[in-house]
């Protein structure tokens, strides 16, 4: 199991504070990935993953998730429909260098860590994302024709970059 490290760098015409607020909100961030759905969050009191409505002491940094992949029409049940693989996601995890998210599939065969730093630029922000992937399975290649590294690259280039770049800076209603 050899780790694979991928680096992505892009600029957005959005203030650093706005970009950081998007990356540090796990619900916004997961939504921007386009291929991850939060199913449950960790409840400290029951020490288990539960639906948000059932959590009495919710931990908003630990999630039971579904990784979604594939393409096709939702109403087609046979063939090239959307497939899922269950797993976990933890984050945001704060450090002096930025924030991180860690993910793992339920079968523990694929893990990743995504380290994100955002630096202020004159006209916006410079975003750097380093993804460290460890996988002992060729599940992704067999199931979809691509490996997990290509899946992560697609989520970042195909979803995160356009969302972070194009999502309007919100204005307060107050």
* Cβ–Cβ under 8 Å, residues 106 and 85: yes
| Residues 41, 138: Cα–Cα separation, whole Å | 28
**Tokens 């202020």 correspond to what residue?**
120
| Residues 48, 41: Cα–Cα separation, whole Å | 8
Number of domains making up the chain: 1
Which range of residues forms the domain containing residue 101?
Answer: 1-68+82-164
In the chain, which stretches have pLDDT less than 70? 1-3, 70-81, 137-146, 170-174
| Residues 130, 87: Cα–Cα separation, whole Å | 20
pLDDT value at position 101?
Answer: 97
Is residue 172 domain-resident?
Answer: no
Q: What is the CATH number of the domain that holds 58?
A: 3.30.530.20
Is residue 44 domain-resident?
Answer: yes
Q: Write the pLDDT tens digit of every residue in 84-94.
A: 889 999 999 99
Q: Write the pLDDT tens digit of every residue in 139-150.
A: 555 555 567 788
Is residue 59 domain-resident?
Answer: yes
pLDDT value at position 169?
Answer: 73
């Amino acid at each position: 199991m050899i780790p694979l490290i991928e680096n992505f760098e892009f600029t957005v015409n959005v203030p650093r504070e706005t970009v950081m607020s998007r990356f540090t909100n796990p619900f916004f961030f997961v939504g921007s990935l386009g291929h991850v759905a939060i199913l449950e969050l960790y409840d400290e009191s029951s020490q288990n993953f539960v639906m948000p409505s059932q959590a009495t002491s919710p931990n908003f940094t630990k999630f039971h998730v579904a990784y979604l992949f594939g393409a096709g029409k939702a109403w087609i049940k046979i063939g090239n429909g959307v497939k899922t693989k269950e797993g976990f996601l933890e984050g945001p995890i704060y450090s002096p260098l930025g924030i991180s998210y860690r993910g793992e599939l339920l079968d523990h065969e694929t893990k990743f860590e995504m380290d994100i730093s955002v630096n202020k630029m004159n006209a916006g922000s410079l975003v750097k994302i380093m993804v460290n992937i460890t996988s002992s399975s060729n599940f992704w290649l067999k199931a979809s024709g691509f490996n997990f590294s290509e899946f992560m690259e697609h989520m970042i280039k195909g979803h995160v970059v356009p969302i972070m770049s194009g999502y309007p800076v919100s204005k307060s209603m107050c």
